[in-house]
Amino acid sequence: MKKNLITILVNQHGVLKKEVGAVAKLCEAKQLDGQKIDKLLKKFARDLQDHLDLENNTFYNQLLKAMADKGLNIKKTQEFIREMKDIEKVVLVFLKKFSQPEAISKNSKSFVKEFQDIASALALRIEAEEAGVYSYWNLF
């Protein structure tokens, strides 16, 4: 499992990026299709939760333990994890706010703006994780 964990997490990132891309494509339409976007967001929310469960409950815990066992200072890594969890909270609030097709359709301008912000934050998070803490994994 240890070797496969990063592969699984990176593959999950790929799925999440595709789902975000599909919603972004629908956001380009003059009239948003709240039903289609809602369906995609619900799938994204399930996939995101699966990813967060694995990342937060397995990866981060095992990484911090391995670092501490090696006598390494884990403060910066803990701060990074806190920052990632802050992004997670913002995404989950967004998903709750736009959890119904009507909320998406009636507030289309707000939805598109907030979605673009969320998509950017997720892209940064994915990049930071893959270039940062995921690379630590192979050190242990």
Give residue-wise pLDDT tens across range 46-90.
999 999 999 999 999 999 999 999 999 999 999 999 999 999 999
Query: How would you label 35-51 residue by residue, b for 16+ Cβ within 10 Å and e otherwise?
Result: eebbebbeebbeebeeb
Give the pLDDT confidence score for residue 110 in this predicted structure.
Answer: 97
Give the count of domains, the chain.
1
CA within 13 Å, CB half, 69 = 8
Burial of 52 (0-12, 13-18, 19+ CB in 10 A): middle
The CATH number assigned to the domain holding 105 equals 1.20.120
Band the pLDDT of 5: cuts 50, 70, 90.
Answer: very high
Q: What pTM value is reported for the model? A: 0.92
DSSP 138: G
Mean pLDDT over the full length of the chain: 94
Task: Report the pLDDT averaged over residues 119-132.
Answer: 92
Domain with 112, as residue range(s), is: 2-139
